[in-house]
Amino acid sequence: MTAAPDPTTETASRADERAGALLTIDLDAIAENYARLGARLASGAQCAGVVKADGYGCGAIPVAKRLFAAGCRVFFVARADEGFALKPHLPDAEVCVLDGLLPGLVDDYAAAGIVPVLNDPGQVEAWTAYCAANEVAPPVVVHVDTGMNRLGLAMADAEALAEDGDALRAFSDVLVMSHLVVSEEPEHPLNARQLADFQHLRARFPKAKASLANSSGIFLGPDYHFDLVRPGHALYGGNPTPGQPNPMRHAVQLLARVIAVREVDKAGTVGYGATARIGAGGRIATIAVGYADGYLRSLSNRGEAWIGPHRVPLIGRVSMDLVTLDVSSVPPEDCQVGDFAELIGAHSGVDDVAERAGTNGYEILTSLGHRYHRAYLGEAA
Ligand SMILES: *Cc1c(COP(=O)(O)O)cnc(C)c1O
């Protein structure tokens, strides 16, 4: 048999015969998630797309192009390099670099048409000076720290900037942004405190647009939406409302091929470190995935997979290239060499895998390895 129900079967049929493990990114699902988030927004608010860390491991360029086709016009990346790589593919979009305007890169940013996210007064000054000297008025983002203590102007510096009514005159379009600290915990008092500080800030920059919410921030309600929201994780199918049903569509599927099936004729242990025992009569399927692919080692003896309709536990340690599954309960004809086991997908989303691994869905996504054969569904032209 060829693994699982739809979409597994469809995907498996697309697999290159040589693929040990196959990562399928459903760009239409990502576009649908973009539309679902957009439908929740307060009137007038726009939805950006956060595609840092190679689009959360899903491929920044195909993801961003698909989002652009879905109407997204503002994108955020972390590194300058990510911005320079993306911008040529999206000449008509704003590509904003969260790391900011790093020294020596002013001319490069300007030449490429990249929007720096200004993170301190020195960056504001440098970009203002460049724009004045060259008589250009590009859009700009100013990041103000309301509680993360990580990036962005201190509140006092932002106040000083507001005091000098002319300070941001050089720019055509100013977006003032801040970032939420605990948005996935709606009851946490820090949310309301950051909102109040941000509302105050916004009043100090009456001509600027404003942006506060990440994925989970969107679900804190319309007060948090302002002019632009900046979801990342939820676009890729991550649950922005932990502890509640996931309102997003799964966009990532990881299948690994069964490359060996072993009948255990004598009780013993499985894998490195002899961390798991198996009795005589058991059966082990070895699949072509490992921690070198970003399948986290902390899933040792804790992960699970699906072979067709059968849920099977991971047994033993995750090694560099291989993972072992206890398939003793699966009828032998349902688990044969060449079949695929589903590790991430409709049965087990990125957040479920994360919980088993003791991490968050973000780390699962951004660890997705480059040894996987990648397939994209719904690619934009
Ligand atoms: C990563 C990031 C986001 C997106 O956050 P998600 O929780 O993935 O939606 C938004 N804004 C900033 C400043 C970020 O660094």
Tell me which of 179, 184, 248, 362 to substitute to probe ligand 1's pocket, judged by most ligand atoms within 8 Å of the beta carbon. Answer: 179
Domain membership flag for residue 297: yes
277 within a domain of the structure (yes/no): yes
Q: Tokens 């239409």 sit at which residue?
A: 28
Average per-residue pLDDT for the chain: 94
C-alpha 231 to ligand 1 mean position (Å): 6
> What is the percentage of the chain residues whose pLDDT exceeds 90?
89
Residue 185 and residue 256 in one domain: no
* 243 CA distance to ligand 1 middle (Å): 20
- pLDDT > 60? residue 231: yes
CATH number at residue 148: 3.20.20.10
**18 pLDDT tier (thresholds 50, 70, 90):** confident
14: confidence class by pLDDT, cuts 50, 70, 90: low
Q: Which of 175, 207, 236 is the last residue of a domain?
A: 236
Judge whether residue 7 has pLDDT over 60: no
Same domain, 60 and 111: yes
Averaged pLDDT, 167-176: 85
**Nearest one of 126, 32, 113, 24 to 75, comparing CA atoms:** 113
> What is the percentage of the chain residues whose pLDDT exceeds 70?
96
200 and 62 inside one domain: yes
**Given pLDDT bands bounded at 50, 70 and 90, which one contains residue 381?**
low
Give 81-131 pLDDT, tens digit per residue.
999 999 999 999 999 999 999 989 999 999 999 999 999 999 999 999 999
| pLDDT higher than 60, residue 314 | yes
Q: How confident is the model at residue 10 (pLDDT cuts 50, 70, 90)?
A: low
Q: Are residues 259 and 140 in the same domain?
A: no
With tokens 């993972």, the residue in question is 323
Domain-terminating residue out of 178, 210, 236? 236
Which has the closest alpha carbon to 140: 151, 150, 125, 157?
125
Q: Which domain does 127 fall in, by range?
A: 27-236
Task: Tell me, yes or no, whether 230 and 261 share the same domain.
Answer: no
Residue type, 203: A
Residue 272 appears among annotated catalytic residues: yes
Q: Are 276 and 232 members of one domain?
A: no
Mean pLDDT, residues 262-281: 97
Ligand 1 atom closest to Cα of residue 117: 13
CA 232 to centroid of chain Cα atoms: 5
Is residue 162 one of the residues assigned to a domain?
A: yes
Same domain, 69 and 207: yes
Residues 227 and 294 reside in one and the same domain: no
Query: Are 73 and 173 spatial neighbours (Cβ–Cβ below 8 Å)?
Result: no
Give me the sign of the Cα torsion angle 272, 374, 354, 340.
negative
**231 vs 216: CA distance, rounded Å:** 8
Q: What is the pLDDT of residue 17?
A: 78
Ligand 1 center–CA 24 separation, angstroms: 23
CA distances, 119 to each of 21, 152, 156, 182 (Å): 41, 4, 13, 21
In a domain, 7, yes or no: no
**Residue 353 within any structural domain of the chain:** yes
Whether residue 271 has its Cβ less than 6 Å from ligand 1: no
Distance CA(300)–CA(98), nearest Å, equals 35
Could you tell me the distance, in angstroms and rounded to a whole number, from the CA of residue 214 to the centre of ligand 1? 5
- Per annotation, catalytic residue among 52, 65, 87, 209: 52
Q: Is 253 in the pocket of ligand 1 (CB under 6 A)?
A: no
What one-letter code names the amino acid at 352? D
How far is the C-alpha of 167 from the C-alpha of 162, rounded, in Å? 8
**Residue to probe by mutation, ligand 1, list 97, 180, 214, most atoms within 8 Å of CB:** 214
Within a domain: residue 280? yes
- For residues 186 and 308, state if they share a domain: no
Q: How many domains does the chain have?
A: 2
Ligand 1 pocket member 50 (CB < 6 A): yes
pTM, full prediction: 0.94
pLDDT of residue 167: 76
pLDDT at 11 over 60: no
- pLDDT greater at residue 166 or residue 351: 351
Residue 270 and residue 180 in one domain? no
* 76 Cα to the center of ligand 1, angstroms: 9
Domain membership flag for residue 22? no
Are residues 231 and 197 part of one domain? yes
Beta-carbon count within 10 A of 356 CB: 16
Contacts of 127 (CB under 8 A, 6+ apart): 101, 106, 116, 118, 140, 170
Report pLDDT digits (tens) over 29-76: 999 999 999 999 999 999 999 999 999 999 999 999 999 999 999 999
Examine the fold and report which residue of 236, 259, 279 is the final residue of a domain before the chain moves on: 236
Q: Output the domain CATH number for residue 308.
A: 2.40.37.10
Predicted confidence band of residue 6 (pLDDT cuts 50, 70, 90): very low
Query: Is residue 198 in a domain?
Result: yes
The reply to whether 54 and 179 lie within a common domain is yes
pLDDT of residue 5: 40
